[in-house]
Amino acid sequence: GNSVTQMEGPVTLSEEAFLTINCTYTATGYPSLFWYVQYPGEGLQLLLKATKADDKGSNKGFEATYRKETTSFHLEKGSVQVSDSAVYFCALSDSYNQFYFGTGTSLTVIP
Amino acid sequence: GAGVSQTPSNKVTEKGKYVELRCDPISGHTALYWYRQSLGQGPEFLIYFQGTGAADDSGLPNDRFFAVRPEGSVSTLKIQRTERGDSAVYLCASSSTDTGFTGELFFGEGSRLTVL
């Protein structure tokens, strides 16, 4: 079956630090991979995505590369800001029907 | 508003009662999803609508849960004989499938259900 495992939090970083949030997946087919983010008081929103192996998704300084050989989609950012404080969810989908989400990683960036 | 709207934002009810949660998707979005998020967990799929029909209801946990979307827009999630284990945040999302599958779901802020 399909599933996503992501790094547990919470994660606390100082501003301008380097961020990595690990995500690995199990899938029976060839899924698309996503990172969704939930800012305080808001709904989940798409941060970035990759639809096939070796694709790199990027947005707002965040990047993640679809690695089929390691079944991973780790989220990275070179220099985090206070405004990046949020909960980050890794997800996969192989159809319109279902998305499989990880448990979420809470990030707090302190000035 | 332009986003997905869910009401109520908070609902407290007693065990055994009936509850309805409403979702108003983004105008024109044909696909609508319900998810359930328990504390410390990621969203868990419940049901997916394409237009008026439930294309996939495999995530509904049991027959106490039911959802409708009679006109292909607003959807209502209905929970009968609520149990304490139903306490969670119920999330609604919509997406447009007109241009193919983009993977972008637009989520509402959720309805927090507490069953006492």
User: Does pLDDT of B102 surpass 80?
Assistant: no
- Taking all residues of chain B, what is their mean pLDDT, rounded to a whole number? 92
State pLDDT tens for residues B56-69.
Answer: 899 999 999 999 99
Instruction: Find all residues with CB under 8 Å of A98, minimum gap 6, and list them.
Output: A2, B45, B48, B56, B59
Residue B98 above 80 pLDDT? no
**CA angle, corner A92, sides to A105 and B106, nearest 5?**
80
Closest residue to B103, CB basis, from A34, A44, A103: A34
Chain B residues touching A36 at Cβ < 8 A: 105
Window 58-97 of A: residues touching B by CB (8 A cutoff) are 89, 91, 93, 95-97
How many residues would you count in chain B? 116
Contacts of B53 (CB under 8 A, 6+ apart): B69
Is any Cβ of chain B less than 8 angstroms from the Cβ of A51? yes
**Tell me: the pLDDT tens digits for B18-36?**
999 999 999 989 899 999 9
Is B110–A103 a contact, with Cβ atoms under 8 angstroms apart?
no
Higher pLDDT, A17 or B96: A17
How does pLDDT run along chain A (111 residues), one tens digit per residue?
A: 889 999 888 999 999 999 999 999 999 888 999 999 999 988 899 999 999 999 999 999 999 999 999 999 999 999 999 999 999 999 998 876 678 999 999 999 999
Chain B's closest residue to A101, CA to CA, is B42
CB A49 within 8 A of CB A55: no
Residue with tokens 């499938």: B97
The reply to whether residue B110 touches residue A91, judged by beta carbons under 8 angstroms, is: no
Nearest Cα to Cα of residue A37 among A1, A67, A61: A61
- The answer, yes or no, to whether residue B113 has pLDDT greater than 60, is yes
> How would DSSP label each residue in chain A?
--EEEE----EEEETT--EEE-EEEE-SS--EEEEEEE-TTS--EEEEEE-STT-EEEETTEEEE-BTTTTB--EEESS--GGG-EEEEEEEESSSS-EEE---EEEEEE-
**Residue A4 near chain B (CB below 8 Å):** yes
Q: Which of chain A's residues have a Cβ under 8 Å away from the Cβ of B59? A: 98
**Inter-residue contact A55 to A35 (CB < 8 Å):** no
